[in-house]
């Protein structure tokens, strides 16, 4: 079961947890500092967070989450924040939101994150294979270079054909 970390004030967080719990394992945090602790300890698959958090802002927390390679969905009642997130293509929900919108956004964001992870894993496999092939080619070139140097050294030591007088 996928794990969602919800970072919001207690009553809103509890409401969101109730909506998500049938489909996801849900943890709650009231602020960014607690969320960072839970990120390190619980390893969620997605962080759903309020833009206006006490202490560390939701936007700062979202940036931290994304730097760690996890998806983050920002929630805000402010149209200006939502418009800015829209322009960035950042997943978000505007409060108040419909239950279906919440479920759809979480599901889609998790699906995109899984696709990205799949692409990254494939890319790493290709890189590993290619770097192994490159390493082998470099060794072959190094051996060839050594043989050429040895052949040149032998040819310099052997006297060449004498020219007639």
What's the pLDDT tens digit per position in 86-139?
887 788 999 999 999 999 999 999 998 888 876 777 888 888 888 888 898 899
pLDDT of residue 20: 96
25-45: per-residue pLDDT in tens?
999 999 999 999 999 888 899
Q: What is the pLDDT of residue 163?
A: 62
- If DSSP states are collapsed to H, E and C, what string results for the chain? CCEEEEECCHHHHHHHHHHHCCCCEEEEECCHHHHHHHHHHHCCCEEEEECCCCCCCHHHHHHHHHHCCCCEEEEECCHHHHHHHHHHCCCEEECCCCHHHHHHHHHHHHHHHHHHHHHHHHHHHHHHHHHHHHHHHHHHHHHHHHHHHHHHHHHHHCCCCCCCC
The C-alpha atoms of residue 157 and residue 123 are separated, in whole angstroms, by 51
Neighbours of 67 (CB within 10 A): 8
Convert the pLDDT of each residue in 56-94 to its tens digit. 888 899 989 989 889 999 999 888 888 888 887 788 999
Is 7 within 8 Å of 53 (Cβ atoms)? yes
The reported pLDDT for the residue numbered 164 is 64
Which CATH entry fits the domain spanning 3-119: 3.40.50.360, 3.30.530.20, 3.40.50.2300, 3.40.50.2000?
A: 3.40.50.2300
Sign of CA dihedral 107, 108, 111, 116: negative
Asked if 58 and 6 touch (Cβ cutoff 8 Å), the reply is: no
What's this model's pTM, rounded to 2 decimal places? Answer: 0.72
């Amino acid at each position: 079961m996928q794990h969602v970390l919800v970072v919001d004030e207690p009553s809103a967080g509890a409401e969101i947890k109730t909506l998500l719990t049938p489909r996801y394992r849900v943890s709650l945090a009231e602020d960014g500092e607690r969320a960072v602790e839970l990120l390190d300890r619980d390893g969620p698959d997605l962080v759903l967070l309020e833009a206006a958090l006490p202490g560390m802002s939701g936007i700062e927390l979202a940036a931290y989450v994304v730097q760690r390679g996890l998806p983050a969905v920002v929630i805000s009642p402010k149209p200006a924040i939502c418009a800015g997130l829209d322009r960035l293509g950042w997943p978000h929900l505007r409060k108040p939101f419909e239950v279906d919108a919440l479920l759809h956004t979480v599901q889609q964001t998790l699906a995109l994150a899984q696709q990205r992870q799949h692409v990254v894993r494939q890319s790493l496999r290709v890189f590993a294979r290619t770097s192994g092939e490159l390493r082998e080619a470099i060794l072959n070139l190094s051996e060839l270079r050594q043989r050429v140097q040895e052949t040149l050294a032998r040819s310099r030591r052997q006297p060449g054909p004498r020219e007639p007088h």
